[in-house]
Structure 1
């Protein structure tokens, strides 16, 4: 594993955790129907974060392409989470934006 991946892997793992917490918390909100978009993007972002971590740890030749995808997914998820006032959504948005920024450093 390249040392340059360490910060990105950490950000991806934190984002994955924040997305999972947000997803689970959204399911417990009073009006869960209004949270459908957030839930969908939380799941997608968590899945792509996991893929990105695995690709960086295994030295995949497709790391940059996966990170480019993750930048887009993190932006979408972060923007959706920012539409909601819930603390878990705000924390998830922050983690998504941080993850996206770390990914951008590696694909620049």
Structure 2
């Protein structure tokens, strides 16, 4: 597997883990209703990253379509998470930004 693909897969997998952790932690916050959008985006982002990773790993000709959507969703999730002060949200925002960048770099290559 190309080094670039491995870096993308690493970023996708890190984003999946961060989003899953963030969603779970958000559900344990005192004001969970305020975290509803964050949880929804975390779940969507995690699922799309997982699907994108599978398409990239198998070398699908349709991987680029998913990378485009994944970059957009990672940006939306990262922006939402960055608006919260919780440590798990800040960590998720960083993982989302790295994944967004990795998807955009892979599409440009």
Q: Does residue 33 of the first structure (1) align with residue 43 of the second (2)?
A: no
1:99 offset after TM fit, Å?
0.4
Q: Which runs of 5+ in 2 are unaligned?
A: none
Please give the alpha-carbon distance, in whole angstroms, between the structure 1 residues aligned to 2:73 and 2:2. Answer: 23
Listed one character per residue, the Cα deviations across residues 13-56 of structure 1 (whole Å, up to 9, x for unaligned) are 00000000000000000000000000000000000000011001
Structure 1: state its 5+ residue gaps. none
Q: CA RMSD in A?
A: 0.8
Alpha-carbon distance in structure 1 between the residues aligned to 2:61 and 2:68:
13
Distance 2:106 2:57 in 1: 14
Alpha-carbon offset, residue 2 of structure 1? 3.9
Residue 4 of structure 1: how far off its partner (Å): 2.5
Structure 1 residues 58-102: Cα deviation after superposition (integer angstroms, max 9, x where no partner): 111101110000000000000000110000000000000000001
Stretches of 4+ moved more than 6 A in 1? Answer: none
Partner Cα separation in structure 2 for residue 4 and residue 20 of structure 1: 24
Distance 1:44 1:101 in 2: 18
1:94 corresponds in structure 2 to: 94
Distance across 2 between alignment mates of 1:78 and 1:63: 21
Question: Equivalent residue for 2:19?
Answer: 19
Q: How many residues align?
A: 108
